[in-house]
């Protein structure tokens, strides 16, 4: 083992950053097949057939992201109020859609990033296929 960080050949695969930003399949095909709709993963890649349901990303990113975005939005709202003191409806009109967009966009990116990272590292349940005859010689 040369480095231990990347045991698999990574040629042809999209980078984790690209896969996260555009919802790309982490396998060689690199097509935009990761999301079925909104923030819902597709069950498998429509092009190469990679089974996305093997990867368990979980709800880890959701809580973390919501807290961060909430803090950022409150800071921005306070700043706007101090700087320009707009009427209240401006805040309602501005921050509600902006927060939703930030949460949905952030969730897509973070979930895709986690899945791509899991694919790279073959983490968790992803290795539990019985037909695999390669075993971990750690």
Instruction: Decide if residue 48 touches Zn ion (CB under 5 A).
Output: yes
Instruction: Decide if residue 27 touches Zn ion (CB under 5 A).
Output: yes
Q: Which stretch binds Zn ion (CB under 5 A): 6-14, 21-29, 84-92, 121-129?
A: 21-29
CA dihedral in degrees (43, 27, 116, 120; nearest 10)? 130
Q: Which is nearer to Zn ion, 42 or 94 (CB)?
A: 42
Q: Which stretch binds Zn ion (CB under 5 A): 1-9, 29-37, 60-68, 125-133?
A: 29-37
Q: Which stretch binds Zn ion (CB under 5 A): 38-46, 66-74, 77-85, 87-95?
A: 38-46
What is the smallest separation between the CB atom of 117 and Zn ion, expressed in angstroms?
Answer: 16
Q: Which is nearer to Zn ion, 14 or 106 (CB)?
A: 14
| CA-CA-CA-CA torsion sign (114, 119, 123, 125) | positive
Residue from 21, 29, 62, 77 touching Zn ion (CB under 5 A): that is 29
Q: Which stretch binds Zn ion (CB under 5 A): 46-54, 57-65, 81-89, 130-138?
A: 46-54
Residue from 21, 42, 44, 47 touching Zn ion (CB under 5 A): that is 47
Over the chain, what HEC string results?
CCCCCCCCCCCCCCCHHHHHHHCCCCCCCCCCCCEEECCEECCECCCCCCEHHHCCCCCHHHHHHHHHHHHHHHHHHHHHHHHHCCCHHHHHHHHHHHHHHHHHHHHHHHHHHHHHHHHHHCCHHHHCCCCCCCCCCC
Q: Which residues bind Zn ion (CB under 5 A)?
A: 25, 27, 29, 45, 47-48, 50
């Amino acid at each position: 083992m040369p480095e231990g960080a990347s045991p698999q050949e990574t040629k042809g695969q999209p980078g984790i950053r690209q896969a996260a930003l555009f919802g790309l399949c982490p396998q060689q095909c690199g097509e935009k097949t990761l999301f079925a709709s909104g923030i819902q993963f597709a069950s498998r890649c429509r092009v190469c057939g990679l089974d996305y349901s093997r990867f368990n990303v979980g709800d880890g990113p959701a809580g973390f992201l919501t807290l961060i975005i909430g803090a950022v939005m409150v800071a921005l709202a306070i700043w706007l109020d101090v700087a320009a003191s707009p009427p209240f409806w401006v805040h309602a009109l501005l921050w509600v859609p902006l927060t939703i967009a930030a949460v949905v966009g952030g969730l897509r990116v973070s979930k895709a990033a986690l899945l791509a990272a899991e694919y790279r590292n073959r983490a968790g349940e992803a290795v539990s296929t019985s037909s695999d005859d390669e075993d971990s010689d750690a």
